Amino acid sequence: MERTLILLKPDAVQRGLVGKVLSRFEEKGLKIVALKLMKITPELAAKHYESHKERKFYPGLVKFMTSSPVVAIALEGIDAVKICRTLMGATFGADAAPGTIRGDFGVSRSFNLVHGSDSPEAAQRELGLFFPENTLHYDYAAYGWIYDPIEELKKG
């Protein structure tokens, strides 16, 4: 099982899309292992987006991400990073395919509703930033109806 971080950004929260967006991940079969509504501090935003620090859009990004609450979500599932990124769609809503979160709810180049870790390594780093208290481990009954154990064992 892989874990990933999803952030429902200020625009998703302010537009009342939290439930609709979260349901996309749950309906796909991903397990919620941590969830919180929070206000990102400038310090946390700086750590989270440190790889973009030299880019022209960085100050605006930090200002946007600290402007309103976000919902931080830790999700678990086989290939969770890849699945989440597919569900999110292309970065800019106008370029995102219908049926994706950004394709269905977004049009802006600035407000793209959701952040998702771009690799398992990034997910581990980001989960540590947003959930320093750790995430939960629990039996998830739905896994028996989501994953075919024989097929998953064949994959290794």
pLDDT per residue over 15-59, tens digit each?
A: 999 999 999 999 999 999 999 999 999 999 999 999 899 989 999
Nearest Cα neighbor of 35 from 140, 127, 146 is 127
70-77/31-38 β-pairing: antiparallel
Residues with a catalytic annotation lie at: 115
pTM for the model stands at 0.92
pLDDT per residue over 67-113, tens digit each?
A: 999 999 999 999 999 999 999 999 999 999 999 999 999 998 889 99
Residues shown for the chain? 156
Domains in the chain (CATH in brackets) are: 2-134 (3.30.70.141)
- Dihedral over Cα of 56, 118, 121, 44: its sign: positive
115 contacts 7 by C-beta, under 8 angstroms: yes
